[in-house]
Amino acid sequence: MARKPDTPLRRGWTTGACATAATRAALSVFWGAPCPKSVRITLPKGEEPEFAIAHCAEGEGWAEAGVIKDAGDDPDVTHGAMIIARVARSEGGVVFRAGEGVGMVTMPGLPIPPGEPAINPVPREMMQATLTDMAERLGERADIEITISVPGGAALAQQTWNPRLGIKGGLSILGTTGIVRPFSCAAWIASIHRGIDVARGAGLRHVAGCTGATSEAVVQQLYDLPDHAMLDMGDFAGGLLKYLAKHPLPHVTIGGGIGKMVKLAQGARDLHSGRSQVDFDALAEVLGVPDLKYMNTALQAYEEVGESMSKWVAEAALEKVRSMLPEDVGVDVVVIDRKGTVIARAGAPGPGA
């Protein structure tokens, strides 16, 4: 089981919260104040954190400010990135623009429509609320164009789900609470959900959820699936299947290595090693091989038993997956070994791309 940290994990701030703080500082400069050392913003649940301002600049008709993102103890690719907001007068109302390192939405199914900067609804609401508050207090017009930039964001985005979600050119400005909870599963599961939304919006008939990069590569090649059909399931089989049950697609392939697929076959929905374990006693009983009780890993058991075990894993996993989805959703299962060789399949193959 995964060892818990000895001290509480430090939370951090979303890119949306950082963009809001940067916007507040930029507006201060735009409306005649010196660059502030720090600003406070109000998060959706009422908390008012303070953000240090790391950058300010201004020119003819514009001003900008930047905040260094602190993700706390979360392994976030944007930790340490500079989130910059530039403000200028708009022709009317609040207009959001994507600057360097912020992506553009190109596919339907996301909370923001195609053709818009990848700045999610809650961050937009937070920035607009800050703008409205400041404009009212200072007697200024709230007709402002806000451009969010993340220097180096295009490279960072390659480490995220953005490319396969159809977000081109950079990162998304995210966050529903403004707070990053360390090592939270919620962000991963939310990304799975958005992947399903994009697949549905694109009219795909076949998607795949896989436990890791090797199984994903195998399944994608097996069916010649596009990138946006590949859902980054990882350990969260339950998170994927529950959402698919409510937002179905015609066919789903579930692929994975023998270890995680045994756990799925035995009924686990969270396949992480710290949250579910292979039941070797049950495996020994169902396969009729008593010595499996003394095995340490599923791979070791497979090397002992061979094809009969991988076949049972595929069929039992298929049964578990089917039980979570509507009857009209097609399902198949692909099990691989560590080298990426397919060692078992169950269910009618999907239609492919």
Pair type for strands 95-98 and 144-149 = parallel
pLDDT per position as a tens digit, 96-149: 999 999 999 998 888 899 999 999 999 999 999 999 999 999 999 999 999 999
Q: What angle do CA 245, 249, 255 make, to 5 degrees?
A: 85
Type of residue numbered 70: D
Model confidence at 7, pLDDT cuts 50, 70, 90, reads low
Q: How far apart are CA 122 and CA 175, in angstroms?
A: 7
Q: How far apart are CA 74 and CA 12, in angstroms?
A: 7
Predicted pLDDT at 253: 97
pLDDT per position as a tens digit, 184-233: 677 788 889 999 999 999 999 999 999 988 899 999 999 999 999 999 89
Predicted pLDDT at 325: 97
151-165, 195-209, 239-253: range with lowest mean pLDDT: 151-165
Q: Are 101 and 150 in contact (CB under 8 A)?
A: yes
Whether 321 shows a pLDDT value over 90: the answer reads: yes
Task: Give 20-58 as a DSSP string.
Answer: HHHHHHHHHHHTTPPPPSEEE---TTS---EEE--EEEE
Q: Are 30 and 58 in contact (CB under 8 A)?
A: yes
Residue of 271 and 134 predicted with greater confidence: 134
The torsion region of residue 154 among left (phi > 0), alpha (psi -120 to 50) and beta comes to alpha
Whether 48 shows a pLDDT value over 50: the answer reads: yes
Q: How far apart are CA 118 and CA 96, in angstroms?
A: 10
Q: What are phi and psi of 233, to 5 degrees?
A: -65, -45
Whether 247 shows a pLDDT value over 90: the answer reads: yes
Predicted pLDDT at 5: 43
The torsion region of residue 241 among left (phi > 0), alpha (psi -120 to 50) and beta comes to alpha
Query: What's the burial of 17, exposed, middle or buried (CB within 10 Å: 0-12/13-18/19+)?
Result: buried
Predicted pLDDT at 1: 32
Q: What residues contact 318, with CB distance under 8 A and at least 6 apart?
A: 331, 332, 333, 346, 347
* Model pTM score: 0.74
| 3-state percent helix, strand, coil for the chain, nearest multiple of 5 | 35, 20, 40
Q: Are 13 and 179 in contact (CB under 8 A)?
A: yes
Q: How far apart are CA 89 and CA 92, in angstroms?
A: 8
When pLDDT is averaged across residues 268-291 and rounded to a whole number, the result is: 90
Predicted pLDDT at 109: 82
Task: Give 92-139 as a DSSP string.
Answer: SS-EEEE-TTB-EE-STTSSS-TTSBSB-HHHHHHHHHHHHHHHHHHT
